[in-house]
Each structure stands twice: as C-alpha cells, then as structure tokens.
Amino acid sequence: MKHLRLMLLAFPLWGQANINTSGYYDAFIDNNVLNVTIRSENIHPIDDEDEYGLLLIRSDGGKLSLKIKWGGMYLGLGNRDVTYLIGAYPAVTENWETTDKHTVSVAKYPVDLIKIMEANTTASFRTTPYQEAPITYEFDLTDLKDVVEKYPNHFRSIQPTPIIEIVGNLATLSLLTFVIISVISGF
C-alpha cells in the first residue's frame, strides 16, 4: 500500500512539461511581462549539492532577454565566455555579462538566439566559473515552439512579418505618396 501511495504522489511529476511560464502586468512600465523558465536536463554538483541550470527567457511587452542561471555557481567578476551548441548548428562562443551576484549570464543577442532555439529541440550551454572546471547544462527545447505560438505578442521580434502586413504597409505607403504628390502639384 505504501508503494501505491508513493507512485500516486510521484505520478504528477512525470507528466509535467519541461517549460514553465508565468506572467503579470507591470504598472510601472505599463506592459505585460512574460517569464519562460526551462530547467536543464542534467545536474552538476555545486557545494556538495546537485543543482539544475535554468534557461530564463523574459519578455517585457516584446523586448526579449535570455539568461542562464548556472545552478548558483559563482562565475567571478566581469563578463564570462559562454559557448552554446543548438541543434546541428556549430558551437558559438560569446562574451556575456554576469548579474545576480555573478551566478547568471545574460545573452548578448537574445532575439537571434531565441529564434534559433525555437526551431530546434536541444541546446547546450557551457561556461567556466572562477577557479573551477567548465560547467555545461543541456536543455530540452521541444515545447519552446508551442510557447512562442501561444504568446505571439511577446515573441513578435522573432516571427517573420506576415505577407498581409507587408502588403498593407506597401498600400499605405503608395496612398501616402499619391496624396503628397497631389498636394504638391495642386490637384
């Protein structure tokens, strides 16, 4: 009977998605904020405890940022090189800022990175903390495309412009050009 109760308690954990989203309205900036958190697939021992990494995507009304929380590991002062491998793309190394007591790296070009991540199912990130061996976290991005589709206003900057919007903009530009030429010529 104890095993059955344990299985029933553990069952909801098996069905959970690997991506969590939360949002709120920020009256100070007068915008909706969306937070997307993806927990790493692997753990690293940090201070005698196994810690997961977190990939954090934040949208302040469409302005995107991407951060990696390295399980609480102190990275050191200043920027850190972060190497990432997304899908079949070759590995890329960039120099990222650190924040949050120097345990979090902030992506330099989050829009480009999220656009690539959305089209792939896996991503790995590596950095070398101060006086430590390199640390690598792998992330399952399978559900990221669904999140992007569910919140299109937050991810507008990574979506291609719809053809109807392009045609509408061209029509508006043509109409304005005609009006300006008419006014200038005196029609």
User: Is residue 7 packed enough to be buried (19+ CB in 10 Å), middle (13-18) or exposed (0-12)?
Assistant: exposed
Backbone angles phi, psi at 184, to 5 degrees: -65, -40
If we measure between CA atoms, which residue out of 152, 146, 165 comes closest to residue 61? 152
pLDDT tens digits, one per residue of 152-169: 888 887 655 556 666 667
Band (pLDDT 50/70/90 cuts) for residue 9 is: very low
- Note the pLDDT of residue 128: 94
Which of the two residues, 74 and 182, has the higher pLDDT score? 74
The pLDDT of 46-74, averaged and rounded, is: 90
3-class state of residue 18 by DSSP: coil
* Residue 174 and residue 180 in contact, taking contact as beta carbons nearer than 8 Å: no
Whether residue 10 lies inside any domain: the answer is no
Whether residue 75 lies inside any domain: the answer is yes
- Note the pLDDT of residue 6: 31
* Position 142 pLDDT exceeds 90: yes
- CATH number for position 139: 2.60.40.1880
Whether residue 125 lies inside any domain: the answer is yes
Whether residue 8 lies inside any domain: the answer is no
- Which of 32-41, 93-102, 157-166, 168-177 has the lowest average pLDDT? 157-166
* Position 2 pLDDT exceeds 60: no
The pLDDT of 82-104, averaged and rounded, is: 92
User: Is residue 21 packed enough to be buried (19+ CB in 10 Å), middle (13-18) or exposed (0-12)?
Assistant: middle
The pLDDT of 54-76, averaged and rounded, is: 92
Whether residue 2 lies inside any domain: the answer is no
Whether residue 93 lies inside any domain: the answer is yes
Whether residue 57 lies inside any domain: the answer is yes
Band (pLDDT 50/70/90 cuts) for residue 96 is: very high
pLDDT tens digits, one per residue of 172-187: 777 778 778 888 877 6
Mean pLDDT score across all residues of the chain: 83
Which of the two residues, 86 and 44, has the higher pLDDT score? 86
| Domain count within the chain | 1
Which of the two residues, 65 and 159, has the higher pLDDT score? 65
Whether residue 5 lies inside any domain: the answer is no
Domain region containing 57: 17-181
